[in-house]
């Protein structure tokens, strides 16, 4: 049984001509996952690509708890911000969909 009790979701539009780079950064072995794996309480991430619009993606990041995610964001804030800035070139739009608890 999975330890994931908390998940947050983001929607992205990959920048024109940057789909491959986006997938590398946000995919299952990408830069974000490598950073998340350094944190206690991280479970897994998923990257989903829209069938109707191949530039549209959704990421789902799973944590043991909201507190574990918050601790990660606090402890790795500098690394998070650096990576976020580096990955801006791969996206033309992003928005948080929401943060969810398992029920």
**18 token code pair:** 């940057």
Query: Is the separation of the CB atoms in 102 and 1 below 8 Å?
Result: no
pLDDT at 94 over 70: yes
Percent of the chain past pLDDT 90, that is, above it, reads 96
Which ranges constitute the DSSP H helices of the chain?
Answer: 19-26, 31-36, 66-75, 77-87
pLDDT on residue 1:
54
Domains of the chain as residue ranges with CATH: 6-101 (3.30.70.100)
pLDDT at 92 over 80: yes
List, for residues 65-89, the tens digit of each pLDDT value.
999 999 999 999 999 999 999 999 9
Return the CA Rg of the chain: 13
Query: Is the separation of the CB atoms in 36 and 72 below 8 Å?
Result: yes
Cα separation of the two ends of the chain: 14
């Amino acid at each position: 049984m999975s330890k994931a009790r908390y998940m947050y979701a983001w929607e992205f539009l990959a920048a024109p001509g940057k789909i491959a780079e986006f997938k590398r950064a946000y995919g299952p072995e990408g830069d974000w996952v490598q950073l998340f794996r350094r944190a206690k309480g991280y479970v897994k991430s998923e990257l989903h690509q829209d069938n109707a619009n191949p530039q549209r993606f959704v990421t789902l990041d799973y944590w043991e708890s909201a507190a574990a995610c918050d601790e990660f964001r606090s402890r790795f804030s500098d690394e998070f911000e650096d990576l976020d800035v580096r990955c801006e070139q791969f996206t033309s739009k992003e928005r948080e969909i929401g943060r969810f608890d398992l029920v």
